[in-house]
Structure 1
Amino acid sequence: MKKMLGEERRLQLLTQLKKSKTPITGTDLAKFANVSRQVIVNDMTLLKARNEPIIATSQGYLYMHPDQLSQTVERTIACFHSSEDAKDELLTIVDRGGTVKNVIVEHPIYGDITASIMVSNRYDVDKFVQRVQDTKASYLSELTGGTHLHVISAPSTEILDVIENALRSKGYLVNEQ
């Protein structure tokens, strides 16, 4: 297969992302374009710099269609728990109709560190937790002793209230400590 070059490749990658309803891994995009994964990372950076609504999630790259963005509300919630409770926290959110967009921790040297998570159902949570285990990675919240923020999106503020109350009842909110 012939290697795709520059702008043509970025347009083809953008088309693939726009067609997909689920994230596409950098590895899969690299195979599609017959280039290295690092080339894909650079292409995604260039596309984002052009204000294409592409986000890098733990499952791959995702194109956020404008209609997806307008149908949800967001809330930032301050959480605190051990690494052992991470899966339960995520399930508490997605089981009530929320999407965990990211995690944010405040690092003493680097300031805010934000990582995209984009989990919205049990399958996504299981895959995310499995990747953490398989790679022997640490949750970002381990850098701050368990304190972290999540940006959560949902179809309504009522659902966000239900999620926040469920997290509160489990003792996962910072102000509940």
Structure 2
Amino acid sequence: MIDGDQRKAAILAALQQATKPISATSFAKKFGVSRQIVVGDVALLRASGATIIATARGYLLERESEKLISKLAVQHTPEQTEEELRTIIEQGGEVIDVVVEHPLYGELVGGLHLATVQDVATFIKEADSSGVTLLSELTAGIHLHTIAYESLEVLTKIKQALSEKGILYEENRHA
């Protein structure tokens, strides 16, 4: 068994090579330790400056992107979550996170990092099977998504598609 410093170095090295999230459970199996030990290792790596992102599917290393980034205000029911996320992806966007305004804690951010329709399907399946409450349910469905996209034309297509579905939060619709 390797020691903690070697394990943290190996976690970081694996994340630098990864193109998809790696779960704490898979790291735990690889190193013969508990999932909680891996979670602690990742916390220590973050505290030392590593830009590790935790998603519902595992850990990713944050990378610089050439893509444009914007926030979109949306509102929908929990049943429309898959439709909303698929719409963004199918129009050429990537869903980086979800942001809600909590009355006690202020801004709460949940990392999503959904880039494909399969990512959305996996996220929805995990949400359904875990029985957890979506962050958007804390705010009557109103929330923000940080999205990445290649061009302003793609952003326009995303907004238009969400608007047509009644999901884009627009002043004139909610006044």
Q: What TM-score, normalized to structure 1?
A: 0.92
Q: Could you tell me which of 21, 26, 29 is aligned with 1:28?
A: 26
Shift of 1:150: 0.5
Gaps of 5+ in 1: none
Aligned to 1:54: 52
Aligned to 2:161: 166
Q: 2:21 and 2:36 mapped to 1: Cα distance?
A: 17
Q: How does 1:16-165 map to 2 (within 5 A)?
A: 16-65=14-63, 69-165=64-160
- Give the AA of the match of 2:9: L
What RMSD over aligned residues (CA atoms) do the two structures have, in Å? Answer: 1.2
Gaps of 5+ in 2: none
For 1:50-95, what per-residue CA distance to the aligned partner results, in whole angstroms no more than 9, with x for missing partners? 3222111111101233xxx231111011110100100000000011
- Give the AA of the match of 1:43: D
Q: 1:70 and 1:147 mapped to 2: Cα distance?
A: 27
Q: 1:41 and 1:97 mapped to 2: Cα distance?
A: 33
User: SS of 1:128's equivalent?
Assistant: helix
User: SS of 2:74's equivalent?
Assistant: strand
For 1:6-53, what per-residue CA distance to the aligned partner results, in whole angstroms no more than 9, with x for missing partners? 211110111111111110011001111221111111111222223222
Of stretches 4-13 and 46-55 in structure 1, the one that deviates more from structure 2 is: 46-55
For 1:130-160, what per-residue CA distance to the aligned partner results, in whole angstroms no more than 9, with x for missing partners? 0011011121111111011100111223212
